[in-house]
Chains A and B, each alone.
Chain A
Amino acid sequence: MIFRLLIAVMLSFVVSVSHVQAQDVMKKLDVQGLGNVPILHDGRIKPMDSFARHIVRLIARKDELGGVSAVEILAGLIFQDGKMVERPLFVIKNAEVVTALSLDVKRGKYYSYRELAQAFQQNAGMLNSLMAKGEDVSGREAELLNLYAKHSEITEILGSLSVLLPYSIKDDAILEALQLQDMDIVTYQDIKKTMAQRKGELLGALSAKDMGSDKVTALQRQLIAMIYSMQHVEQDRFTRIFRVIPSVWKEDGEEWFSPWGVLEEGRGSPVTQGLMVEWTKLALAYRNADQGMWDDALKVITSVAMKTQEKGYDAEIFSVEMVYNNLRLFDVAMWLCLIVFVSVLLSKVLDNKFVLSFSIITLIITFIVSLLAIILRMYIMQRPPVTSLYESIVFVAVVVFFMALMLVRRQYALMGVMIGSTVGGVLLLIAKGYEKEGDTMGTLIAVLDTHFWLATHVVTITIGYACSLVVALIGHIYIVREVMKADAASQKKLFALLRYNTLLALFFTVLGTILGGIWADQSWGRFWGWDPKENGAMLLATWMVWLIHGWQAKFFRPFSYALAASMSSLVLVLSWFGVNLLNVGLHSYGFTQNIALNMGVFFAIELTFLIVSWVIYGRRERKSARL
């Protein structure tokens, strides 16, 4: 830990003394082309644009910051732009973390890399003791460690190109002493090479005790400073995050390397050498804000990557991913949901059919937009639509939009539009929260990478989740209407719809659970293992069975059936999110404070609503019975 801390501190020193003194590079240079460069990250070749967004979301929880795009921020970091380390990039929402690090309280809640580096240095002791605690840390402490981990990741990014960044040595005496006066561009490698060969000759017979004495000449003093500076840079040799160099060696398979990795792991070749020279030119172009040089270097880098198709790169998928990143279709769908919701309320208030038609059309567009997003994701990832919690949320949102449109078609226009816009919108909002955690297109763990069973089981069970959600919502609407004394005929019709949807939910949850068993049998060699997620899915299916049997056996009356149907939302949340919080089983993601808190709040609101409705309805029933 101390080692990493040292690196951070040293790096901030190196950044300040040696590299880019870029004067408003962004104003003069268009760096967006960097977004097209391929990089291997999280086990997948992706456009730099996706990588940049992942990094910026990780630290700032946004796709861009103050009008500066993710690619521009990343360019500033990798080329060690002094201004970028001073720029507030890290968001700290928890005031306790700010206090613990003795940082100034800011209204904007954003802090720079350098501010945090200093804070971590001053609190190294505290961080050490927190790390020693292991998993036994409080929420605040966990956030602090999380912030430190993010800062370390940026430290790694800052050092990822230091092996090839151009140095500006202005003193001719040093250049001459190092015999580098004829070189156009001087990098760490050049200085290191000449230093290794001529160190003794340059420093003479200086001993440790000579240092600081009159024996040391001004030139020697500068050379000593340079040796120290090189030692700082050398600390970056462990950086592996920036994998932009495809290996030419067959034995490396689809592996790509970071510039440091190429040298440290001995995977260099004439091609990788040529590529690294182009990266140096790119850095120089960035420093001098030279658009021509920038574009030329970028073209070579991109073209070499394009020639390495067997290394996991596909130009078609690449351009689709760029389009997907830029369109941000789920954000568009979320805003459309808001428009639908407002317009449907307006249509009710104004009693205007035209406004209602507008909201229906907008809902159709919302469905198309979100469906398109899922199709694009499937194409980019070349895999089924649901493979993670994030994807299950957006998929359920799309299914909900579809079911809402089906309700509209079955003459439940108002209800359909309301369900679609509210539930779909809220689901997309929740998904956006997950988006901020980083890349939503991560690599699958091996067991999930069996397309057929994944496609059938996960998609079916997720449709089952969506149907259960709609059942719960229709149940809520039935309850509200019953409490508001709606007319019996329309309530009867609505109740039939509720039962129909319960059957649909039962079908998909049961089928999904059985298919899950078959998948588990294929993957793990057992049909059922009482894993919390398996139990959760079965719980939901059992709930639906109970509802249907309860009605058939006349155990339920319509209102109590609607109450039980509404409670399927609780069962759903428990099996969808809840089981992931448990630290047991194959689907565990570990306990997450936020999810637990949000679930608690949801349960409290839901139970309050149901109990209050039940009490009101019960009183009214008793009153009418007495009369």
Chain B
Amino acid sequence: MGEEREKVRVSRQRITHILLLCAIVSVGLMGYVDHLTMTAVDVQSTERDIKQKGAIDVTRTQMPKVVFETIDGVSVDVEKYRGKTIVLHFWATWCVPCVKEFPELLKMSALAGENVVLLTVSNDRDGQAVQKFLQKVDKENLAQGANVVLAIDPARTISQEVFQSYKLPETILISPSFEMVKKIVGAETLWSDPEMLRYLKEM
């Protein structure tokens, strides 16, 4: 009987020791884990800091505020077109695919109606090259497209430093709420396709 009790006592003692040791190890481990997670970035305070410093606007797809200069030397604030679909097109007259694509874009602009603005930004050195090129393209389409803005960006400040556009031609589709919805790299040949026109109108 006494032996049995002794056995139970030893066994209980052993269990207590094991539990105690596990507790000590767990506390140590928790402390260490806590220390490690402290080194990770605190999400909320980081966002607060950034807002205060006015760094990158992390509302990612909003169209930034930019003012373009047309080939005629007129400044155009993009804000003017809020409420319309904007087809922001980066191109240059020395870029072969751009030159092939351009008439198709003008055709699209003529067909799409007033609520779609074609904003082309040329990377040429001066407006003359663009003017010269336009003389060759379908003047009818150009005349009909009342919503065509022919801007020029010789220093590539807007093209490269704002929109990071390097692979001409590049096109960004912007919704009436100024959301940059889609980016098309390379020449798109289906601009005047009915489906594309419907997509642009319903954006």
* Complex interface: chain B residues within 8 A of A250 (CB): 181-182
Residue of A nearest to B49 (CB): A299
Most chain A CB within 10 A, of B25, B40, B185, is at B40
CB distance from A60 to the nearest CB of B (A): 23
Q: Do B183 and A357 touch (CB < 8 A)?
A: no
Q: Do B58 and A361 touch (CB < 8 A)?
A: no
Q: In residues 123-181 of chain B, which contact A (Cβ within 8 Å)?
A: 125, 154, 156, 160-167, 170, 180-181
Q: In residues 337-369 of chain A, which contact B (Cβ within 8 Å)?
A: 357, 361, 364-365, 368
Residue of A nearest to B33 (CB): A323
Any A CB within 8 A of the CB of B22: yes
Q: Do A327 and B41 touch (CB < 8 A)?
A: no
> Which of B17, B25, B41, B163 is A357 in contact with, Cβ under 8 Å?
B17
Q: Do A308 and B60 touch (CB < 8 A)?
A: yes
* Complex interface: chain A residues within 8 A of B161 (CB): 273
Q: How far is B125's CA from A456's CA once the two chains are assembled, in angstroms?
A: 65
Q: In residues 32-73 of chain B, which contact A (Cβ within 8 Å)?
A: 32-33, 36-37, 39-41, 43, 46-47, 49-50, 53, 55-58, 60-61, 64
Any B CB within 8 A of the CB of A123: no
Evaluate whether A304 and B164 lie within 8 angstroms (CB atoms) in the complex, with A250-B182, A266-B185, A296-B53 already known: no
Majority DSSP secondary structure for residues of B touching A? mixed
Q: How far is B161's CA from A289's CA once the two chains are assembled, in angstroms?
A: 27
* Complex interface: chain B residues within 8 A of A364 (CB): 18, 22
Q: Do A300 and B50 touch (CB < 8 A)?
A: yes
Residue of B nearest to A267 (CB): B183
Q: How far is B185's CA from A368's CA once the two chains are assembled, in angstroms?
A: 53
Any B CB within 8 A of the CB of A197: yes
Q: In residues 255-314 of chain A, which contact B (Cβ within 8 Å)?
A: 262-276, 278, 296, 299-300, 302-304, 306-308
Majority DSSP secondary structure for residues of A touching B? helix
Q: How large is the interface on A (under 10, 10 to 19, 20 to 34, 35 or more residues)?
A: 35 or more
Residue of B nearest to A32 (CB): B39
Q: Do B165 and A268 touch (CB < 8 A)?
A: yes
Evaluate whether A361 and B18 lie within 8 angstroms (CB atoms) in the complex, with A263-B166, A268-B165, A270-B162 already known: yes
Residue of A nearest to B169 (CB): A266
Any A CB within 8 A of the CB of B14: yes
Most chain B CB within 10 A, of A189, A268, A304, is at A268
> Which of B18, B32, B56, B165 is A266 in contact with, Cβ under 8 Å?
B165
Any A CB within 8 A of the CB of B96: no
* Complex interface: chain B residues within 8 A of A269 (CB): 60-61, 163-164, 180, 183
B-to-A contact residues, CB < 8 Å: 14, 17-18, 21-22, 25, 32-33, 36-37, 39-41, 43, 46-47, 49-50, 53, 55-58, 60-61, 64, 125, 154, 156, 160-167, 170, 180-183, 185-186
